[in-house]
């Protein structure tokens, strides 16, 4: 399975380094020297990482065969794509790759269908499941232990214990009426 792990940004310096926008939780594994990555557009690659370093909080990479600023600038906006074994799991317990969570059915603890995970949004404070409901609307569910109580990859489902108002706006409206 192919997954986008980074997007190449602007050239840095004159020796062929580029900034990259990291799109993987494991840059030390996916973007390590020696890694061979496919590209989009395909005509740009494959690219082999020669060196990598962090500078002012940004990851800088240099690729084999790219030794000057012009060559680095020509790579700008190229997506870097890694070949991933679909059965591979992250090292930590209760950690998942995005591709494992996409398309999981989301149900409440009592079995009520909520929808299907269509996307994972990675925010600074937490990740969010973007869930498409059966009626086509979307609901955002924080991927936190208190709300997402179980991920069952074999059953292809995520079980949630939503607080009032998270998946049903009527609960918030009804509780507001009670307070009036």
> H or E segment at 47?
strand 47-55
Q: Which two tokens stand for residue 139?
A: 């609901």
pLDDT level of residue 68 (50, 70, 90 thresholds) = very high
Q: Which two tokens stand for residue 88?
A: 């591979």
Contact at 8 Å (CB) between 98 and 44? no
pLDDT level of residue 168 (50, 70, 90 thresholds) = confident
The CA distance from 127 to 108, in Å, is 19
pLDDT level of residue 169 (50, 70, 90 thresholds) = low
Q: Which two tokens stand for residue 56?
A: 């002012």
pLDDT level of residue 170 (50, 70, 90 thresholds) = very low
Calculate mean pLDDT across residues 13-24.
89
Can the peptide bond before residue 41 be classed as cis, meaning omega within 30 degrees of 0? yes
Query: Structure pTM?
Result: 0.61
pLDDT for the residue numbered 127 = 86
């Amino acid at each position: 399975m192919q997954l986008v792990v980074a997007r190449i940004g602007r050239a840095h310096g004159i020796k062929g380094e580029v900034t990259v926008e990291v799109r993987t939780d494991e840059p030390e594994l996916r973007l390590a020297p020696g890694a061979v990555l496919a590209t989009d557009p395909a005509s740009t690659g494959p690219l082999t990482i020669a060196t990598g370093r962090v500078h002012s909080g940004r990851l800088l990479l240099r690729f084999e065969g790219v030794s000057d600023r012009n060559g680095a600038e020509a790579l700008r906006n190229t997506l870097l794509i890694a070949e991933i074994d679909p059965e591979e799991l992250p090292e930590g317990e209760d950690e998942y790759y995005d591709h494992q969570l996409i398309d999981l059915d989301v149900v409440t603890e009592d079995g009520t269908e909520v929808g299907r995970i269509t996307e994972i949004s990675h925010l600074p404070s937490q990740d969010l499941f973007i869930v498409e409901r059966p009626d086509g609307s979307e609901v955002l569910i924080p991927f936190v232990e208190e709300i997402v109580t179980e991920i069952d990859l074999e059953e292809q489902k995520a079980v949630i214990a939503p607080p009032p108002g998270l998946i049903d706006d009527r609960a918030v409206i009804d509780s507001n009426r009670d307070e009036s």
